[in-house]
Chain A
Amino acid sequence: MNRRRFTAGTILLCLLSAFAVLVARATPQTEGVTDIDPHKAFGSKNAPVTMEVFSDFQCPACKTLFTSTNRQLMDNYVSTGKVYLIHRDFPLPMHAYSRIAARYARAAAQIGKFEPVEQVLFQNQEKWEQTGDVDGTVASVLPAAEIAKVRALVKGGTLDAGIDKDSALGQLYRVSQTPTTVFHSKGQTYPFAGVMTYDMLKQFLDQLLSQK
Chain B
Amino acid sequence: MMQSSPLNARRAIIWIGRLVLGGIFVYAGFSKLLLPNTHLWPMFMLKFSVSMNIASFAQQVESYKIISPEASQLVAHALPFLEIVLGLLLLIGWRLRIWATAITLIMAGFLAAVTRAYVLHMDINCGCFGVPEKLTGMTVVRDSAFTALALLMTIFAFREAREPHPWSAPEKA
Chain A residues within CB distance 8 Å of chain B: 4, 7-8, 11, 15, 18, 22-23, 25-26, 28, 61, 64, 176-177, 190-197, 200, 203-204, 207
Distance of A190 Cα from B92 Cα, bound (Å): 37
- The residue from B34, B36, B45, B91 contacting A176, defined by CB atoms under 8 A apart: B36
- Residues of B within 8 Å of A26, CB to CB, are 38-40
By DSSP majority rule, is chain B's interface helix, strand, loop, or mixed?
helix
CB interface residues, B 23-50, toward A, < 8 Å = 26, 30, 34, 36-41, 44-45, 48-49
State how many angstroms separate the Cβ of B39 from the closest Cβ of chain A: 6
A-B contact pairs, 30 of them (CB 8 A): A4-B92, A4-B93, A4-B94, A15-B26, A18-B30, A22-B38, A23-B40, A61-B59, A176-B36, A176-B132, A177-B36, A190-B39, A190-B45, A191-B37, A192-B39, A192-B52, A193-B36, A193-B37, A193-B52, A193-B56, A194-B36, A194-B37, A194-B53, A194-B56, A194-B59, A195-B52, A195-B56, A196-B52, A203-B44, A204-B48
Chain B residues within CB distance 8 Å of chain A: 26, 30, 34, 36-41, 44-45, 48-49, 51-53, 55-56, 59, 88, 91-94, 131-132
Contact A195 B94 (CB under 8 A): no
Contact B39 A177 (CB under 8 A): no
Contact B30 A196 (CB under 8 A): no
Contact B92 A196 (CB under 8 A): no
Query: How many A-B residue pairs lie within 8 Å, measured between CB atoms?
Result: 66
In the A-B complex, the 7 residue pairs with the closest CB atoms = A194-B56, A207-B44, A26-B38, A193-B36, A204-B48, A194-B52, A192-B37
